[in-house]
A and B are shown apart, each in its own frame.
Chain A
Amino acid sequence: MRRTIIALVTLALCVAGGFATATVLGAGADGSPAPKPAGGLDLGAKPGSDSVESRQADPAGRGPDWGVVVFTARNGHACAAAGPIAGGRVGARRRDGTIAPYPIDEGASCVDLDAVPAGAQVTMGTGAGARTVVHGVAGPDVASVTLTTPQGARDLRIGPRGSFLAVLDAADAALGDVKLSARLHSGASRQLLG
């Protein structure tokens, strides 16, 4: 009986030991408050590298203009974040309708333009008046970026630092409805989204 109890206690301690070991090893993946996983990508903005581009009005004329903040990450990636503009800065809308500045020191949608010609992301909010937002950054090999939704196809304007943006009513284009392609100066094309 005593042996059985000792064996069970030993097994329980081993399970706990395995759990604790995995926890400690996992903490190395993101143990610090800053979002920089060990061995991961250091996507925080290089100080002074950010600028706002691709400004455009809200599609329903409700609320402030939208834009893209473009910056260079500490690891050299080209980064972009899209959102409504408040006080000259791109932000994210809170539940109460106010706008929080986008924390670019914590990274955003980033891409290595030496590895791929362009980066793109689509984001879709929920609730009344939700927006579907397509944004990204194109490298020097890209000649044009074309957005296709159920409403049709159109080229997006590419900003001085390569950013592009489309803000749509989510009722007109859901996340899965969005297709985005890039045509390169070489004549080749790349499907980015959809």
Chain B
Amino acid sequence: MSALLQSLVSQPYKHGFVTDIESDVAAKGLNEDTIRLISAKKREPEWLLEFRLKAFRHWLTLTPPEWANVKYPKIDFQAISYYSAPKAKQKLASMDEVDPELLRTFEKLGVPMHERATLANVAVDVIFDSVSVVTTYKAKLAEVGIVFGSISEAVQNHPELVRKYLGTVVPSGDNYYAALNSAVFTDGSFCYIPKGVKCPMDLSTYFRINTEQTGQFERTLIVAEEGASVSYLEGCTAPKFDTNQLHAAVVELVALANADIKYSTVQNWYAGDENGLGGIYNFVTKRGLCKGVNSRISWTQVETGSAITWKYPSCVLVGDNSVGEFYSVAVTNHHQQADTGTKMIHIGKNTRSTIVSKGISAGQSNNSYRGLVKILPTATGARNYSQCDSMLIGDRCSANTFPYIHVRNHGAQVEHEASTSKIGEDQLFYFAQRGIGAEEAVSMIINGFCKDVFRQLPMEFAVEATKLLGLKLEGSVG
């Protein structure tokens, strides 16, 4: 039975191919020259180079965090290349000049690089290794004043905006991996929604790591001005390599008064093989600042990939009546390790936060929820509701919940609920006795378990996530 369960969660990774494309890869190693090289390649202004160098110098004084419930060998930061870009002959004037090999790659991945009907009404910024290769619907978005594209481009075209907000939510010295990212980030998406504008389409970034022994360090910055709103989606895949690759991203969100940002992720980095060989180390800092009154930031994540996930999308609720939300499904199988959760920092009055976390562990994986709810003395009337559910498939995996609750205001209301369940032989027998086979039964149970999170996802993503989970868990029941 546990063999059947096991085979149900063990589907081959579909996105594990490598694109054969000529790339401009920086020599391995990390020092100030590496950083100057990246900055020079990107023709960055002096202040940004200074930002990087300051972060790097700070990083040198830090040690990697060891408190997470994950185990991995020490990373040799000198063995990684910090810049890799597909070689382009010159600057692209239009989509038609994008390398056809790249087009084929993203077509295979189901990412629309043409502004056509496949995913109508979603603008996509496509990032391949260290650079953004294309952004769709840019012109259309510009009509309403929205800036959407790669952060490198934004540095050139809107330096004042980038400079104003970069590092304001996640300071360059915030933590080990955030400092590293601040020093070496290569590309990422930038999105600016002006005052009062409701973004007419979903914005999306698709990240692809292609080159072996490259790290991907992208930096995403989203700013929603007063009364603006945007829904943003992020997807990611990587080829199969036997070595581990490092992905240390930083995402910063800023919501001003009455602004609303919804950030959804379906993370499907290569997770390593069934013996735990290879896979991405996904060490990511994501944080949103609800700066203005009545602002709202909502994180939804479906985490299925990566050998190791270390990630805590958080909300800092400064504006009065602001709202922070975190909806998460994290699935681990084989030897995957995930330590993920959120931080909700309540500062303003009547701030509210909701945390719904669903962890599913199969194989010999280890899945931990780690969350902090912090109510500061100023946060009168603050409320939090947390729900953390774990589901185990088979008997060799583990699930942990580490909730941290710091309340320093007596008027605050904090609720925490947790549960652990197991897909048991008896449940599967019950389904079977009604004619329903194990695969369908598991998919039904898992989707039922995750539905509170899935219904937060935009439609196309919800379909994608359901399929992905089905694939991921196929073969794990038995």
- A, B co-complexed: no
* Chain B interface residues toward A at CB < 8 A: none
* Chain A interface residues toward B at CB < 8 A: none
